[in-house]
Structure 1
Amino acid sequence: MATEVRVGCAGWSIPGRYRTAFESDGSALERYASRLSAAEINSSFYRAHQPATYARWAEAVPAHFRFTVKIPRAISHELRLRGTGALLDRFLDESGHLGDRLGGLLLQLPPSLAFDARVASTFFAMLRRHTAVPVACEPRHAGWFDEAAEALMDRYGIARVAADPPRMDAGARPAGARCWRYWRWHGSPRTYYSDYDEQALHRLAAEVRVASTEGHPSWVIFDNTAHGFATANALRLQALLEPAHA
């Protein structure tokens, strides 16, 4: 039986040329959520948000809608997963005010952060002591793409992101824990800018459909927002994943 499939964007701004595809009333988030079922909150990577802000976002979307929240760069890039307890507690408390609209967390690692089994295990164990929500990790150093790293992520229930463009071939496929399959498409060949053509979207739809029918909740987030193509790509992929196109 097919499982949950969600398609969305990094953020919820709607470029002017696509506004007619969404409801005309309400805030940007309310209009975005009228058509798409997920969104990444990327601003949490750069700055903290008040609990009331998360609560307000949760109230603005339908009951079926879900957010992914990006773990702060202070944890991933500055402290590099070491000594993060206090910051992690604060972040989880704040983002927890999304309530049942919290679909998961995203941990994006810097390209310079090599895989260290002890550091990774300590961080993931601490994370799992504090939350059971799905977690997707997007590593960008080659050391994270071997069997040892994949096994460790699987042990702690951490999914590895399937990224486009990938840093290496293995990075194009989802891995780690099978509790979540998570694609992040950033735009290719020009990251954050490039549009995806029909062939690429059909290929992605086929991959997502297979993962879903194998029982893996599957999310796709488009991050090619610089020229607004994320919105069009998300709407098109969602259409391709509808039963009539299966």
Structure 2
Amino acid sequence: MDVRIGTAGWSFPRALEMFPAEGTGLERYAAVFDCVEINSSFYRPHQRKTYERWAASTPENFRFAVKAPRTITHERRLAETGDLMARFLDETSGLGAKRGPLLIQLPSSLGFETGVVERFLADWRRRTQAATMLEPRHSTWFAPEAEALLASFDVARVAADPAIAPQAAEPGGSPSLVYRRWHGSPVIYESPYPPKVLDGLAARLAVEAGTADTWCVFDNTKFGMATSDALGLLERLGRRPG
């Protein structure tokens, strides 16, 4: 079973004893978890040498998921983004073999338009074969046509919590990758998940890992709940931190 569990960013409550006392924040985080989702790349670019430094400071089996810039998704809204794609892919290639899935999170106002999406994904796939997942937040993305188009380009659809529609809670698109992003519920980015919910999540992940590369990232980071939820999930899957 191969399930990667981590958080959005590598901040964590400093009082937790399972994290080493020495090292950078990333080094200490990577001593406990085997993956992280880089969200800061959504807001600003990072130099290739920065990604190289991050990769060099983590264990061999560690992986980084990276969020695509908002200039691609929110400003140009997937249209005429070739120059921005090229820059993002070149920068993140500094992670080398530790670059994991690339995340394309869309604004809630961006509905599914076949022509726009097909042109975007065709250009994306001309430039990279990296594992890719898309997190739509508009109801039009959960129709069969959208699902089929994502699958045709081997792009997975994120399974999100909270979900804007029942289908949004389940993985979609390409079956080669399961990527669950849990943002906290009932208060997004803040609330921890109850033990029974984590029990159910662990059971689902154990099954999904039998057929796909499987990730679960907690984004309820505001009060450190992402760390405790991720640690609780590790425990439920019978894995010791580190």
Structure-2 residue corresponding to 1:134: 131
Are 2:242 and 1:234 aligned? no
Q: Match for 1:14 among 1, 12, 15?
A: 12
Structure-1 residue corresponding to 2:41: 44
Structure-1 residue corresponding to 2:148: 151
Q: 1:87 to 1:98 in 2, by over 3 A?
A: same
| Residue 16 of structure 1, CA deviation | 2.4
Structure-2 residue corresponding to 1:95: 92
- The AA in structure 2 aligned to 1:212 is A
Cα separation, 1, equivalents of 2:161 and 2:12: 22
Are 2:178 and 1:181 aligned? yes
Structure-1 residue corresponding to 2:213: 217
| Residue 242 of structure 1, CA deviation | 2.1
TM-score (norm 1): 0.96
| Residue 23 of structure 1, CA deviation | 1.7
> For each residue in 1:32-75, what CA deviation from the matched residue of structure 2 results, as whole angstroms up to 9, or x when unmatched?
00110110000000000011100000001000000000000000
Are 2:28 and 1:28 aligned? no
> For each residue in 1:71-91, what CA deviation from the matched residue of structure 2 results, as whole angstroms up to 9, or x when unmatched?
000000000000000011001
What percent of counterpart residues are identical?
48
Cα separation, 2, equivalents of 1:102 and 1:188: 29
Q: What secondary structure sits across from 1:92 in the alignment? A: helix
Q: What secondary structure sits across from 2:64 in the alignment? A: strand
Q: Give 5+ residue unaligned stretches, structure 1.
A: none
Structure-1 residue corresponding to 2:72: 75
Q: 1:21 to 1:243 in 2, by over 3 A?
A: closer
- The AA in structure 1 aligned to 2:3 is V
Structure-1 residue corresponding to 2:54: 57
| Residue 14 of structure 1, CA deviation | 1.6
| Residue 21 of structure 1, CA deviation | 1.5
Cα separation, 2, equivalents of 1:243 and 1:225: 22
Cα separation, 2, equivalents of 1:55 and 1:9: 20
Q: What secondary structure sits across from 2:74 in the alignment? A: helix
Cα separation, 2, equivalents of 1:166 and 1:42: 20
Structure-2 residue corresponding to 1:124: 121
| Residue 243 of structure 1, CA deviation | 6.6
- After the TM superposition, which segments of 4 or more aligned residues of structure 1 sit over 4 Å from their partners? none
Q: What secondary structure sits across from 1:17 in the alignment? A: coil
Q: What secondary structure sits across from 1:105 in the alignment? A: strand
- The AA in structure 2 aligned to 1:129 is R
- The AA in structure 1 aligned to 2:74 is H
| Residue 17 of structure 1, CA deviation | 3.2
TM-score (norm 2): 0.97
Cα separation, 2, equivalents of 1:16 and 1:108: 29
Cα separation, 1, equivalents of 2:129 and 2:168: 25
Cα separation, 2, equivalents of 1:30 and 1:17: 16
- The AA in structure 2 aligned to 1:9 is T
> For each residue in 1:174-229, what CA deviation from the matched residue of structure 2 results, as whole angstroms up to 9, or x when unmatched?
1110111000000000000001111110111111111012x211000000000000
